[in-house]
Amino acid sequence: MEATSKAPDGVVGDREIVITRNIAAPRERVWKAFTTAEALAHWWGPNGFTISTTSFDFREGGEWVFIMHGPDGRDYPNWIRFTRIDEPSRMDHDHGGDGDRVIFRAVITLEEVDGKTRVTLHSTFETKEQRDLVVKEYGAVEGGQQTLARLDEYLNS
Q: Answer yes or no: is pLDDT of 100 > 90.
A: no
Q: Is 28 helix (H, G, I), strand (E, B) or coil?
A: helix
pTM of the shown model: 0.90
State mean pLDDT over 43-55: 97
Percent of the chain with pLDDT over 70: 94
Under the banding of pLDDT at 50, 70 and 90, the label for residue 5 is very low
pLDDT value of position 9: 63
Which of 86, 85, 68 is closest to 140 using CA atoms? 68
Look up the domain containing 109 and give its range: 2-155
CATH code for position 9: 3.30.530.20
Q: Answer yes or no: is pLDDT of 47 > 70.
A: yes
pLDDT value of position 75: 94
pLDDT value of position 10: 73
Q: Answer yes or no: is pLDDT of 44 > 70.
A: yes
147 near 41, Cβ under 8 Å? no
pLDDT value of position 99: 75
Spatial neighbors of 155 by CB under 8 A, at least 6 apart, are 23, 24, 25, 29, 30, 33
Under the banding of pLDDT at 50, 70 and 90, the label for residue 1 is very low
The structural domain count of the chain equals: 1
For all residues of the chain together, what is the average pLDDT?
Answer: 92
